[in-house]
A and B are shown apart, each in its own frame.
Chain A
Amino acid sequence: MHKTDDVVLSIKDLSKQFGNGCDYCKDDSAELQKNMCPHCNTVHAVKNVSFDLYEGEILGVVGESGSGKSTLMKMLYFDQEASTGTYVLPEDPNAEDNVFLVSSQRKRQIRNEQLGMVYQNPMLGLKMDFSSVTNIAEKLIASGNRNVGQMTDRADHFLNKVNIPLRRKYEAPKNFSGGMQQRVQIAKALSNYPPILLLDEVTTGLDLSVQADVLELIKEIQRDMGVSMIVVSHDLAIIRMLCDRTMVMLDGQVIEHGITDQILEDPQHEYTQQLVYSIL
């Protein structure tokens, strides 16, 4: 896939706080205990994060547990409301100034047409009691599809792509292994050809060989379909394998960003150095 310099997703000064905040922590230079205000106990889960995602690239987000990675992803997928910030999808035909501010109906439309999300926990992305085909059809119906034959074909195509045997397509994911569930989730997220895919710790907890399958699949999707992706992981080996560029988060803020080999081989920030020295 030829890479162009088109921004497909742009985030500016995105913040998420849990709590009302006080005069002390409203000041950007205020010193917090990790990400919590010592006066009002407000948690600043994500603080002033800005970045662009370009067409066809994979952007990595690394950081320890509690650094705000998942909160960031949830806001991008409208699972969680942002406190402040702007979110622009320039390639969308409507391209509003800030999609955080649009109606919930419009947000649903963006979710169904522009974005795909794969959660660490397949329970969040799949209806475990419904068949794999139904799960995929649900996403397709949400994005306006009504033709049953077409939807079944699409489901077959993507289940095939993620190596789920088609004879098991009418089985519910609750019968599947963790790795298979994850692959059904990826098939579902891809089924309406979203230009942007959000992947939150998708290989965590999978055994090495299944992990390799999933990584291979992600690379293939990037190459063959030109999908742009944001990959959240605490595993630097995975980041190295997949990502063109990487951001490092700590206590809700982006402390360092750059081309992935720059981050891994010449880390500048103390925390990034610690992280890199911890690679097995």
Chain B
Amino acid sequence: MICIKDFSKSFTIHHLDQTRTAIEGVSFDVKKGEFLGIVGESGSGKSTILKSIYGTYKPSSGTVTYDSKAFGEVDLHGITDRALISLRTNEIGYVSQFLKVMPRTTTLELVINSMLEMGVDKEAAETEAKEALRHFDIPEALWHNYPNTFSGGEKLRLNIACAIVKKPRLLLLDEPTASLDEKSKLKVRETISKLIDGGTTLIGIFHDLEFMDGLCTKVYDMNTKTIEERAV
């Protein structure tokens, strides 16, 4: 499904005349329906990999190949901006640690809008959005509030809800459990299990090594640059 080959990324900071290498020589592949966990200490380049797969970062060298539904096998950095935007809308989801919101957009509208982008009709979008919000225990009383009034945990759950209603083929998770309590973590776990059962391919970064147990089929270690198969 996704294949990363000899991937390196460095950032050139012009005003300091400096080039910093974030990651070097990363290679791995993830098959359809697998769940790859990426581990490593802070600053080891975990998020850099996810952002490079999502196309936010351009590689300094190497390739990221993705087997898309719309265009077949593509190099994610060799396709047009429009093609990448369309893959992001319809196939590749990304859950970051931060919630991006439009001003004056309510929680419910936010989830609905992420589905409308895909061309889902309004009524169906509303029904599914409500279901997702209920699933993630975001109380109905908050649906018409603006998300920037939310607690950290609520924001994170909302973020995941927005990504999941789109039923992505490939989902990238950047520390989706970072500020969650045990109960919410269980919810996220349950959702991820369901996604795996439904055939979604996942790549995630976790600090919480326990959380990965029994979920991840593979683990990539940033320090040793090796991949280890796990029994689920």
A→B interface (CB under 8 Å): 1-3, 5, 54, 57, 211-213, 215-216, 219, 223, 240-241, 244-245, 257-259, 261-262, 265-266, 268-270, 273-274
Q: How far is the CA of A156 from the CA of B118 in the complex (A)?
A: 31
Tell me if A258 and B81 are in contact (CB < 8 A). yes
User: 5 shortest A-B CB distances, which residue pairs?
Assistant: A2-B119, A212-B103, A270-B14, A266-B57, A216-B104
Distance between B222 CB and nearest chain A CB, rounded to angstroms: 20
11 interchain pairs, CB-CB under 8 A: A54-B82, A215-B103, A216-B105, A240-B100, A241-B103, A245-B85, A258-B81, A265-B56, A266-B51, A268-B12, A269-B14
Chain B residues in 8 Å Cβ range of A3 = 85-86, 89, 117
For residue A173, give the distance in angstroms from its CB to the closest CB of chain B.
Answer: 23
**Chain A residues whose CB sits within 8 angstroms of the CB of B118 once the complex forms:** 2
CB within 8 Å: A-B pair count: 64
Q: Are B86 and A266 in contact (CB under 8 A)?
A: no
**Additional pairs, 19, CB under 8 Å, beyond known A1-B116, A262-B58:** A1-B117, A3-B86, A3-B89, A5-B82, A57-B82, A212-B103, A213-B104, A219-B102, A257-B81, A259-B55, A262-B55, A262-B56, A266-B11, A266-B57, A268-B12, A269-B14, A273-B13, A273-B15, A274-B15
Residue B84 at the A interface, CB < 8 A? yes
Q: A215 with B116: in contact, given A258-B81, A262-B56, A265-B51 (CB under 8 Å)?
A: no
- Given A1-B116, A266-B11, A241-B102 contact (CB < 8 Å): yes
B97 at the A interface (CB under 8 A) = no
Q: How far, in angstroms, from A5 to B54 measured CA to CA in the complex?
A: 20
Residue in A211, A261, A274 with the greatest tally of chain B CB atoms within 10 Å: A261
- How big is the B interface, by class? 20 to 34
B residues near A223, Cβ cutoff 8 Å: 113, 116
Quick one: CB contact mask for B56-67 with A, threshold 8 Å, 1 for yes?
A: 111000000000
Q: How far is the CA of A166 from the CA of B105 in the complex (A)?
A: 24
Chain A nearest Cβ from B96, distance in angstroms: 10
Query: Whole-angstrom distance between the alpha carbons of A211 and B103 in the complex?
Result: 9
| A268 CA / B9 CA spacing, docked (Å) | 13
Q: How far is the CB of B194 from chain A (nearest CB, A)?
A: 27
Q: How far is the CB of B115 from chain A (nearest CB, A)?
A: 11
Q: B residues touching A (Cβ–Cβ < 8 Å)?
A: 11-15, 51, 55-58, 81-82, 84-86, 89, 100, 102-105, 113, 116-119
- A186 smallest CB distance to B (angstroms): 16
Q: What is the CA–CA distance of A85 and B94 in the complex, to the nearest angstrom?
A: 40
CB neighbours (8 Å) of B84 from chain A are 259
Residues of B contacting A211 in the complex (Cβ-Cβ under 8 angstroms)? 103
- Shortest CB distance B24–A (Å): 17
A190 → chain B closest CB, angstroms: 19
Does the CB pair A244–B85 fall under 8 Å?
A: yes
Contact A273 B14 (CB under 8 A): yes
Partner of B102, one of A54, A215, A259: A215
Per the bound structure, the CA–CA distance linking A266 and B57 in Å amounts to 6
Contacts of B102 in A (CB 8 A): 215-216, 219, 241
- Bound CA span A39–B164, Å: 60
Residues of B within 8 A of A270 (CB): 14-15
Q: Using Cβ atoms and an 8 Å threshold, which residues of chain A touch B104?
A: 212-213, 215-216
Complex CA–CA separation, A261 to B51 (angstroms) = 10
State how many angstroms separate the Cβ of A152 from the closest Cβ of chain B: 29
Q: Which residues of A have CB within 8 Å of B113?
A: 223
Residue of A nearest to B12 (CB): A268
A97 to B169, CA, bound (A): 41
Chain A residue nearest in CB terms to B58: A266
The residues of B that contact A261 with a CB separation of less than 8 Å are: 56
Across the interface, B57 reaches (CB within 8 A) one of A215, A257, A265, A274, namely A265
* Min distance, Cβ B77 to any Cβ of chain A, angstroms: 10
Q: Which residue of B lies closest to A258 (CB)?
A: B81
State the CA gap A259–B116 with chains docked (Å).
Answer: 20
